[in-house]
Amino acid sequence: MDPSQLLDVIFTGVLRGGLYALMAVGLSLVFGVMNIPNFAHGEFYMFGAYLAFFSYTVFHLGPIASIIVAVAGAFILGVIVEKGLFYTLRKRSKKQWIMNTFLLTLGISIIMQNGAKMAWGATYRGITAFWSGSLKIGSMNIANDRVVGFLIAVLAIVIFWLFLNKTRIGRAIRAVSLDETGSQLVGINLDWIHTLTFGLSCALAGLAGASLLSITPASPVMGIGPLYKSWFVCILVGMGNVGASIWGGFIVGLLETFSYMQFGAGWQDAISLTIIILILVFKPSGLFAKKGVKSVLE
């Protein structure tokens, strides 16, 4: 592998990693705060992509406005799902909560996937580009959309990080993820925080789906790939560790591009999974495991 090829790999890997990080942050946040292993995360990504598609092509909104519509829509859907299902479940079950939520998210995923198929058909709905043109770096051309998508991902992650660390509400979310009872004692409204967290996580997924619309067209099953990848990231760095999932996103992105280049198409999943499994054998709670991260058996 010569240097220019290596540069290509690194660029592609980092651009991909941005998307994975964006997805993984939301997944990790929901697990850390609410203890829900969300297997419907990819469906919110799909929902965001569809919303962006319709607002861009049918309602002729600008790129930025379409993305904002998608984010807002995914947020609202997330809030509805949380209030309607997870809130009800939390009130009803105490002990087997995690197992039940796990099944619940699977049910949501099946419903959303097939609901999308019912409403919009199994066709691919894509656009050529939000921002046409491409950027020339070294020997390779990168589509503007890819670069802008990456920048949006980075910007979103930075804003999200500031929100979690610098605002009262963000600190309340982190407090709940550390200790539910303790945070209730200091007067945090748990129900409200849970709803907000789930909504935000869905909004992040929707953002990822919307900003990459020209690269991956909207279709009912488009969420599966990003869902797998965000799970790889979360397990690799340790569940519920929001900060580290950003690095994890880039690690998985690079790993994948590298094995794609080295071993050919199709093998990248097998190779990167083998490496992740090997890492987990030696560090079962993840690469950057925090002490006291909730596990399902607690």
Q: Is 10 in the site for another protein (CB under 8 A)?
A: no
Out of 2, 58, 60, 92, which residue is the one contacting another protein (CB under 8 A)? 92
Burial class (CB in 10 A: 0-12, 13-18, 19+), 204: buried
Cβ closest to another protein, residue 81 vs residue 210: 81
Site for another protein in 213-252 (CB under 8 A): 228, 231-232, 235, 239
User: Whole-number minimum distance, CB 165 to another protein, in Å?
Assistant: 26
Q: What angle do CA 254, 259, 265 make, to 5 degrees?
A: 120
| Distance of alpha carbon 124 from the chain centroid | 21
Beta bridge partners of 140: 137
User: Whole-number minimum distance, CB 52 to another protein, in Å?
Assistant: 22
Q: Is 94 in the site for another protein (CB under 8 A)?
A: no
Q: Is 291 in the site for another protein (CB under 8 A)?
A: no
Cβ closest to another protein, residue 83 vs residue 171: 83
Residue type, position 161, single letter: W
Cβ closest to another protein, residue 112 vs residue 205: 112
Q: What does the per-residue mask of binding to another protein show for 130-169, with x meaning CB under 8 A?
A: ----------------------------------------
| Whole-number Cα distances in Å, 220 to 42, 62, 205, 237, 263 | 10, 24, 15, 29, 29
Nearest to 54 by CA among 43, 41, 69: 69
Nearest to 70 by CA among 193, 196, 198, 218: 218
Q: Say how many residues touch another protein, by CB under 8 A.
A: 44
Do residues 132 and 118 lie in contact, with contact meaning Cβ atoms separated by under 8 Å? no
Q: Is 3 in the site for another protein (CB under 8 A)?
A: no
Which one of 63-71, 144-152, 170-178, 265-273 is the stretch in contact with another protein (CB under 8 A)? 265-273
Instruction: List Cβ neighbours of 64 (8 Å cut-off, separation of 6 or more).
Output: none
Out of 141, 165, 262, 274, which residue is the one contacting another protein (CB under 8 A)? 274
**CA separation for the pair 155, 18 (Å, rounded):** 10
Q: Is 85 in the site for another protein (CB under 8 A)?
A: yes
Q: Is 57 in the site for another protein (CB under 8 A)?
A: no
| Distance of alpha carbon 7 from the chain centroid | 26
Q: Is 107 in the site for another protein (CB under 8 A)?
A: yes
Which one of 13-21, 70-78, 83-91, 171-179 is the stretch in contact with another protein (CB under 8 A)? 83-91
Count of helix runs (H) and strand runs (E) in the chain: 12, 2
User: Whole-number minimum distance, CB 135 to another protein, in Å?
Assistant: 32
**CA separation for the pair 3, 5 (Å, rounded):** 5
Instruction: List Cβ neighbours of 89 (8 Å cut-off, separation of 6 or more).
Output: 97, 100, 101, 104
Site for another protein in 20-39 (CB under 8 A): 37
Cβ closest to another protein, residue 68 vs residue 271: 271
Residues that bind another protein (CB under 8 A): 37, 85, 88-89, 92-93, 96, 98-100, 102-104, 106-111, 113-115, 117-118, 228, 231-232, 235, 239, 266-267, 269-270, 273-274, 276-277, 280-281, 284-285, 295-297
